[in-house]
Amino acid sequence: MNDNIYWIWFLSLEKISTKQKNMLLEQFLSPEIIFLLNRQTLENTKILDKNKLDYFEHNKILKHAQDTLHFMDANNIHLITRNDQQFPEMLKNIYMPPLALFAKGDLSLLNAPIKIGIVGSRKPTISGAKYAKLFAKSLSAVGITIISGLATGIDGNSHWGSLSELGRTIGVLGTGIDICYPRENQKLFDLMTQKALVITEFNLGEKPLPHHFPLRNRIISGLSDGVLVIEARKKSGSLITVNHALDQGKDVYVIPGDISESSWAGGNHLLKEGAKLVTEPKDILEDYIVCDQLETTNEEKVIQLRKKPFTVDQQLLFELINKGYRTIDELVSYSNLPVNIVNSVLTMMEIEEIITIKYGNILLI
């Protein structure tokens, strides 16, 4: 029988906490083994009290799990358990790691090399919304994956900004993956399941209960290398994500805001506490993409030390620019690459200070 059936059954045991499920898995390794345990063996573990043992006994039924699995197969929903190779290593070491993730979309994004979480107000100012789109678009253009909570405001603008570029974005839900919340994000939700990725630890059908969102936030920070705060009040869910990030040893970035506006007070306070102030995407990128600052010839620039080596497309464009091709039209023509790919690669090279663009001419720095 499909091992996922036992996982879905195990995850659906609502009266047994995630902590208790983790403890059971540590002892018995898999939900299938747990399903086959007799009451006495479970009682000897001291993990479940009498009421939960009764609950366990009365819910040894796989019919609902079988129906759920059929629904998932029909709707391209994947279950990624902690035993799967695709399960992100970064999530295994956080406090109370999720047992599994329900996912729909591009699963490769879970293990993308660099991921930045973006959090902030659900009712941002015009400036806050603009910064969310701008930073997400710029970071996504160079291959960084953007993670946010698929809520309105900063979350939604961050996802839209990323989708306008390479579409490298992950939405972490506080509901089951078959529920779009808030409803006004349905178009964004549908687009992300097709071109990006949506994930959740909550079972199908689970509603947007208040306690789900603090739990959701630990996954946003846990998946991210760093978290960017854009417009957050002093007491907001965004700061819960930041606290998780700090506990997890992640970088925290803040865009400063108007000191007279309460909607920016949380971020400004984080700056006083030592978060990194950022005013442009390059301020974040410099922590993840390292360029050698030594004097070099153009040929030596090819082997500069960076976090990631040149891609094939970067190498091709570098060589063409070095030969004297200076415009985007020329690079498109001689590289045989689509114009959108050329633009994306050039953006990354410009941010990494490999090239500069002046009056339409592309020059090596």
pLDDT tens string 163-178 = 987 778 999 999 999 9
- pLDDT score at 365: 67
- pLDDT score at 288: 82
Give DSSP secondary structure letters for 192-255: HHHHSEEEESSPTT----TTHHHHHHHHHHHH-SEEEEES--SSSHHHHHHHHHHHTT-EEEE-
Give DSSP secondary structure letters for 308-347: SPPPHHHHHHHHHHHTT--SHHHHHHHH---HHHHHHHHH
If one looks up domain 104-285 in CATH, what number appears? 3.40.50.450
The residues pairing with 228 across neighbouring beta strands, listed in sequence order, are: 118, 253
Instruction: Name the pLDDT band for 106 (thresholds 50, 70, 90).
Output: very high
Least confident residue range of 224-233, 254-263, 342-351: 342-351
How confident is the model over 191-205, as pLDDT tens digits?
A: 999 999 999 999 999
Q: Do domains 104-285 and 300-364 have the same CATH topology?
A: no
Residue 193 is inside which H or E element, if any? helix 186-195
Helix and strand tally (H, E) in the chain?
17, 11
Query: Please, are residues 226 and 251 in contact by the beta-carbon 8 Å criterion?
Result: yes
338 pLDDT exceeds 50?
Answer: yes
Query: Please, are residues 344 and 165 in contact by the beta-carbon 8 Å criterion?
Result: yes
The top-scoring range by mean pLDDT among 12-16, 89-93, 176-180, 351-355 is 176-180
For Cα atoms 206, 209, 78, give the angle at the middle one, nearest 5 degrees: 30
Site of tokens 């309460």: 262
Mean pLDDT on 262-274: 89
How confident is the model over 45-79, as pLDDT tens digits?
A: 999 999 999 999 899 889 999 999 999 999 999 99
- pLDDT score at 343: 84
- pLDDT score at 309: 64
Cα 352 from Cα 329, distance rounded (Å):
22
Mean pLDDT on 272-276: 89
Do you find a cis peptide bond into 214, omega within 30 degrees of 0? no
> May I ask the CATH architecture of the domain 300-364?
Orthogonal Bundle (1.10)
- pLDDT score at 299: 37
Q: In the chain, where do the E strands start and end?
A: 78-81, 100-105, 115-120, 145-148, 169-172, 197-200, 226-230, 251-254, 276-277, 355-358, 361-364
How confident is the model over 239-251, as pLDDT tens digits?
A: 888 888 888 888 9
What percentage of the chain carries pLDDT values higher than 90? Answer: 55
What percentage of the chain carries pLDDT values higher than 70? Answer: 93
The residues pairing with 118 across neighbouring beta strands, listed in sequence order, are: 228
What are the backbone dihedrals phi and psi of residue 322, each rounded to the nearest 5 degrees, phi first? Answer: -65, -25
Mean pLDDT of the chain: 87
Domain boundaries, the chain: 3-74, 104-285, 300-364
1 alpha-carbon distance from chain centroid: 32
Site of tokens 């102030």: 277
291 pLDDT exceeds 60?
Answer: no
Cα 13 from Cα 122, distance rounded (Å):
32
Least confident residue range of 4-13, 142-151, 198-207, 341-350: 341-350
Per the structure block, which two tokens stand in for 164? 């306008």
User: Which burial class, exposed, middle or buried, applies to 317 when counting CB atoms under 10 A from its CB (0-12, 13-18, 19+)?
Assistant: buried
Cα 82 from Cα 25, distance rounded (Å):
10
Cα 285 from Cα 287, distance rounded (Å):
5
Do you find a cis peptide bond into 182, omega within 30 degrees of 0? yes
Tell how strand 78-81 and strand 100-105 pair up: antiparallel
- pLDDT score at 92: 87
149 pLDDT exceeds 50?
Answer: yes
CA atoms lying within 13 Å on the CB side of residue 146:
38
Question: Beta-carbon neighbour count of residue 40 at 10 Å?
Answer: 8
3-state secondary structure of 107: helix
Higher pLDDT, 177 or 321: 177
158 pLDDT exceeds 90?
Answer: yes
Question: Beta-carbon neighbour count of residue 268 at 10 Å?
Answer: 21
